[in-house]
Amino acid sequence: DAGVTQSPTHLIKTRGQQVTLRCSPKSGHDTVSWYQQALGQGPHFIFQYYEEEERQRGNFPDRFSGHQFPNYSSELNVNALLLGDSALYLCASSLGRFGGLGYTFGSGTRLTVV
Amino acid sequence: DQQVKQNSPSLSVQEGRISILNCDYTNSMFDYFLWYKKYPAEGPTFLISISSIKDKNEDGRFTVFLNKSAKHLSLHIVPSQPGDSAVYFCAASVTGNQFYFGTGTSLTVIP
């Protein structure tokens, strides 16, 4: 039973570029949340997708956008990359919007902006 | 604004002894709390949870205590094992909303 799968695992981008990160939720899960974890920090909530719509959003600029597909997989897009966007991006899936207890995290995508 | 704080970035404990990890929060509306464990190059994995209607929850070697008046949460690991060495995050939410994480405590259990 596969858990949460994120791709790619590592990525290096240049300032100003755009990036797309991908997440496949755990089998049976329908909700995807994205978190950003900067070095030495805890994860910070970016947004949550349920039924292909953004349901909640954290304190992140509009440069961060996402999408959820009918198969529940999700993408996180970041435009106009800044050096400060360098972080580990974690995807977490759950069953239902309020499934915090059942959150399963992926291993993350390490994004480095140079 | 850091609504969840873990003031000890690291902790070292002898194998077999008790590990106590602490967490403080500022938002009195938080009603659900979690502890996660994270190994290097892996995502966080759920460890134990507690809701605000309880003051203690136990699961094997892991016990979480909640002191609502002090807005304080702690995780006890007894006995500590070398495999427990990891970074531990506490997280809190108002049910149905996003989780706020602390900055983590790196636990080292010395054999």
Contact present, A82 and A15 (Cβ < 8 Å): yes
Instruction: Measure CB to CB from residue B32 to each of A48, A100, A102 and give the nearest one.
Output: A100
> Would you state the pLDDT for residue A24?
97
> Would you state the pLDDT for residue A98?
67
CA–CA min distance B24, chain A (Å)? 14
**Interface size between A and B, measured as CB pairs under 8 A:** 54
Instruction: Measure CB to CB from residue B43 to each of A44, A48, A90 and give the nearest one.
Output: A90
> Would you state the pLDDT for residue B12?
98
Read off the pLDDT band of A50 (50, 70, 90).
very high
- The answer to whether A106 contacts chain B (CB < 8 Å) is yes
Higher pLDDT, A46 or B45: A46
Read off the pLDDT band of B42 (50, 70, 90).
confident
* B98 has pLDDT over 70: yes
Contact present, A35 and A44 (Cβ < 8 Å): yes
Are A44 and B103 inside 8 Å of each other by CB?
no
What is the 8-class DSSP label of residue A80? S
> Would you state the pLDDT for residue A29?
92
Instruction: List pLDDT tens digits, range A53-63.
Output: 999 899 999 99
Are A107 and B43 inside 8 Å of each other by CB?
yes
The chain A residue lying nearest B104, using CA atoms, is: A42
Instruction: List pLDDT tens digits, range A88-104.
Output: 999 999 887 665 556 78
Residue in the structure block whose two tokens are 């070292």: B12
Q: Calculate the alpha carbon distances from A4 to A67, B22, B94 in Å.
A: 16, 29, 24
